[in-house]
Amino acid sequence: MLRRNAGTSGLSTSRMGLGTMTWGRDTSKEDARGLLRAFTEAGGDLVDTAPAYARGEAERILGVLMKTEVNRDDIVVATKAGFTFRDGVRVIDTSRRALLDDLHESLRRLRTDHIDLWQVHAWGPAPLEETLAALDHAVTVGDVRYAGVSNFVGWQTASAATWQEAFPGRARIVGNQVEYSLLARRAEVEVLPAIRHFGMGFFPWSPMGRGVLTGKYRGGVPRGSRAASDHFGWYVEPYLEPRSRAVVEAVAKAADGLGITPLQVAWLWVRDAPGVTAPLLGARTAEQLAEYLAAEEMELPVPIAAALDDVSGGPNDARPAPTA
């Protein structure tokens, strides 16, 4: 599997990341084992998790698998901090205390002595300088190799990067993780320009439009899908409206013409979009993962990518223009 650096930093990862949001809930430990084994055997190494995923169970499962299935040094572990549960309610707390407590618990659950990429999960109410000081501390003491952010909009990304660059010795922000797909292109307006300006990496989450771009919902909501579940129905519903259906049909038409699947068309579009380091896929089984891995050697023709740009929101100004 080909590799990319996170912007101009020294952090190198596979150009595909394995997300674990469903681990411990919709993805069993056994299925997670099959996923991780297939992913690493194909050359993948970036595995993204968070304390908020199944209230820590995703990290616990990954920690076990890094002891029994893969070599820890062969995995780039990305996790987060700043989401916490209080009285059963998820809240954002980006204070130094909360972040470092999250880090301590992540290290324990993951059974490791360091995190490769530690990300602030969301912009929070604590002063930015306090939040970023926690990243500095974690990198300085060796608990963290690289620092990043997640779900930061453009001005937030620029604020964090500028603060860290203002004084020598602060931990550089090497990446941002934001939703990005053919159904969610808002990142192109401000986030991606900020990322390019500061030489950061970009790790899109939900590159399949929360599963809708696979085409599975073209005929309705199938039983067993995320949209049919009590805990993920709200998550998929925004992309089941008419505009999204039109984009899905365009993806399906491109797939028919290229002789590949809609999933692969949508995946190739986001994987090779300007500025992308590694999209984070949410496959729940090794069988689902196989379809992504089969696309590793594929490339989306530039005119097809440009046509999908047009139908999903307009030209991507950062994409090279198709040649005649």
Name residues whose C-beta falls within 8 Å of residue 68's C-beta, 6 or more positions apart in sequence. Answer: none
Look at residue 322 in the predicted model and tell me its pLDDT: 67
Looking at 79-93, 104-118, 260-274, which range is the least confident one?
79-93
Look at residue 224 in the predicted model and tell me its pLDDT: 63
Look at residue 231 in the predicted model and tell me its pLDDT: 66
Look at residue 217 in the predicted model and tell me its pLDDT: 83
- The DSSP letter of residue 12 is E
Residue 258 is assigned to a structural domain of this protein: no
Give the gyration radius of the chain's Cα atoms: 19
Residue 244 is assigned to a structural domain of this protein: no
In this prediction, residue 218 has a pLDDT band, given cuts at 50, 70 and 90, of confident
Residue 74 is assigned to a structural domain of this protein: yes
| Structural domain span for residue 171 | 3-211+265-300
Residue 248 is assigned to a structural domain of this protein: no
User: Do the beta carbons of residue 275 and residue 318 sit within 8 Å?
Assistant: yes
User: Do the beta carbons of residue 176 and residue 195 sit within 8 Å?
Assistant: yes
pLDDT at 324 over 90: no
Q: How far is CA 81 from CA 40, 104, 279, in A?
A: 25, 10, 20
Name residues whose C-beta falls within 8 Å of residue 242's C-beta, 6 or more positions apart in sequence. Answer: none
Q: Rounded to whole angstroms, how far apart are CA atoms 150 and 200?
A: 12
Q: Average per-residue pLDDT in the chain?
A: 94
For residues 145-174, give the mean pLDDT.
98
Q: How many structural domains is the chain composed of?
A: 1
Look at residue 228 in the predicted model and tell me its pLDDT: 59
Check which CATH number belongs to the domain holding 13 and give it: 3.20.20.100
Length of the chain: 324
- Long-range contacts: 68-73, Cβ < 8 Å, 24+? 69/33, 69/36, 69/37, 70/36, 70/37, 70/40, 72/112
Q: Which 3 state secondary structure label does DSSP give 80? A: strand
pLDDT at 31 over 90: yes
Per residue in 224-259, is it b (16+ CB within 10 Å) or e — as a string? ebbbeeeebeeebeebbeeebeebbebbbbbbeeee
Pick 229 or 51 by higher pLDDT. 51
pLDDT at 293 over 80: yes
For residues 52-66, give the mean pLDDT.
96
Q: Rounded to whole angstroms, how far apart are CA atoms 201 and 69?
A: 28
Provide the token pair at 200.
Answer: 């950061």
The distance in angstroms from the start CA to the end CA of the chain is: 31
Give residue for tokens 């990862």. Answer: 13
Which amino acid does the sequence have at 23? W
- The DSSP letter of residue 76 is E
Pick 324 or 204 by higher pLDDT. 204
Residue 307 is assigned to a structural domain of this protein: no
Which amino acid does the sequence have at 287? E
Nearest alpha carbon to residue 47 among 150, 97, 116, 135: 116
Look at residue 323 in the predicted model and tell me its pLDDT: 66
pLDDT at 183 over 70: yes
Residue 19 is assigned to a structural domain of this protein: yes
Q: Which 3 state secondary structure label does DSSP give 99? A: helix
pLDDT at 119 over 80: yes
For residues 162-170, give the mean pLDDT.
96
Which amino acid does the sequence have at 310? D
Residue 296 is assigned to a structural domain of this protein: yes
For residues 20-28, give the mean pLDDT.
94
Pairing between β-strand 17-19 and β-strand 280-281 as defined by DSSP bridges: parallel
Residue 317 is assigned to a structural domain of this protein: no
Look at residue 239 in the predicted model and tell me its pLDDT: 85
